[in-house]
Amino acid sequence: MRRQLSLLVPLFVGWTAAVMLIFIIAALDPGARDNVLLHPALNGFPWYTGLLSNLAVVGWVVASTAGFLGGYVAWVGNRKAAARMQIMGAVVTVAAAFDQLFQFHRIALGTDSFGGRALVLVTYIILGSLWVIINQKELARTRVIILGAAMSSLLMSATVDLLGNEIVTSRALFVDGTTFLSALAWAIWFVTTTMDISRSVVHSGVLPDRTDSDDSA
């Protein structure tokens, strides 16, 4: 447990910076805050509009890239279970990135309604649950507290987005803020897990250690 808590340092630093940014946005006047919280594709603006939405997309992209890289390294290192965990997670993350960027569940699928959003939420819960169930042994060997933080904040975001102003007064800020926190934690988990897998594969002797190669040269 102490080791798990010590591994939370990257998440603590990242989330502290993210929460500070969210509070700064909350302190803006309503007009400026609305501009920051806009979803670019949903409102017909250029793709670079909407700070928090775009930062979340960056988080998903970093997470998926690290996931595919970790999956490749694990596969080369004959860690098939770890490779499956990373690649499956990366595929789900790519779907989240595209949905965040283009708002497919509202535009392409025409689900800008309670029933439609509920269907999307259930779909993500099923995909996430399948990923966890299939890879539970490998996931248990990773930084599970960070992964839990990522999943919990994303679930809060989806729930408030579904139920709207019945839960919180500033729905857009809460939804975008918690989505950003989730994407950040998700990226931290994938990057650190990929680093752990890479170290393990190198130390097992499957891949050459650059330090040893340089010394022998």
**pLDDT (tens digit per residue) in 197-207:** 999 888 876 65
CA atoms within 13 Å, Cβ hemisphere of 81:
11
pTM for the full predicted model: 0.73
Tokens 């670019």 sit at which residue?
40
pLDDT at 214 over 50: no
Using CA atoms of 177, 178, 181, 186 in order, give the dihedral in degrees to the nearest 10: -140
Closest Cα partner for 116 from 127, 104, 126? Answer: 104
**pLDDT (tens digit per residue) in 96-127:** 888 887 776 666 555 556 666 677 778 888 88
Domain definitions of the chain by residue range = 33-202
**pLDDT (tens digit per residue) in 125-135:** 888 899 999 99
| Residue 97: how many other CB atoms lie within 10 Å | 20
Task: Say what the pLDDT of residue 216 is.
Answer: 40
